[in-house]
Structure 1
Amino acid sequence: MSDLKKEAESLDKASSALGRVTHHTAKPLHTFREASHDLSAFGALGSLMSATDDIRDGMHKLAKLTHALEEEWHAEAKVMRDVSRAFDLLDGLIAAAARDGKG
């Protein structure tokens, strides 16, 4: 097996794994977002100090950043898949050229 073929397979596996990340983060992220609406654990002290608003804002920002990171991972997975396919194509072209050169 050629080095390009090995790299293509490795990139393809990595892109698949990276593309599935949101399967693992969707539920925790949803739970985190829901929790930002119920900050009653801080009680009256949190309300008096305006801490709940700050915490809620921070939680919303973290959720947005996580979503942006997931989008970046998906884009990265697509690039990895494209490179993997390009390596497969290049490997095939090199093999065909080698066969033509021997014939």
Structure 2
Amino acid sequence: MSDLKKEAKSMHKAASGMRGVGHHTAKPLQEFRAQSHDLGALGALGSLMSATEEIREGMTTLAKLTRQLDEEWEAEAKLIGEVSDAFDLLDVLIAAAAQAKRG
């Protein structure tokens, strides 16, 4: 197996893994968002400190950042997949050129 073929296979595997991240984080992220609307666990302490709204805003910000990170990983996975495909094609072209030289 050529080096390009090995690199392409490795990159394809990495891209597949990155695409799966969103599937693993979707449920915990949904639960986290739901909890930002129910901050009863803070009890009187949260009310006394007037921190409830700030905590809610912070949790919303974290959820948005997590979603953006998932989107970024998806875009990177797509790019890695495209590079992997290019390596596969280049490997085929190099092999064909070598075969043509041998004649």
TM-score by length of 2: 0.98
CA distance in 2, matches of 1:23, 1:16: 12
Q: What residue number does 2:67 align with? A: 67
Q: What residue number does 1:50 align with? A: 50
CA distance in 2, matches of 1:17, 1:43: 41
Give, as a single letter, the amino acid of the residue that structure 2 aligns with 1:13: K
Q: What residue number does 1:9 align with? A: 9
Q: Structure 1: which 5+ runs fail to align? A: none
Deviation at 1:16, TM superposition (A): 0.4
CA distance in 1, matches of 2:20, 2:5: 23
Partner SS state of residue 38, structure 1: coil
CA distance in 2, matches of 1:17, 1:40: 37
CA distance in 1, matches of 2:55, 2:78: 35
CA distance in 1, matches of 2:61, 2:30: 14
Percent of matched pairs sharing the same residue = 67
Alpha-carbon RMSD across the aligned residues, in angstroms, is 0.6
Deviation at 1:23, TM superposition (A): 0.9
The number of equivalent residue pairs is 103
TM-score by length of 1: 0.98
1:76 corresponds to 2:71: no
Give CA-to-partner distance per residue, 1:26-84, whole Å, 9 cap, x none: 00000000000000111122113211111000000000000000000000000000000
Q: Structure 2: which 5+ runs fail to align? A: none
CA distance in 1, matches of 2:10, 2:45: 53
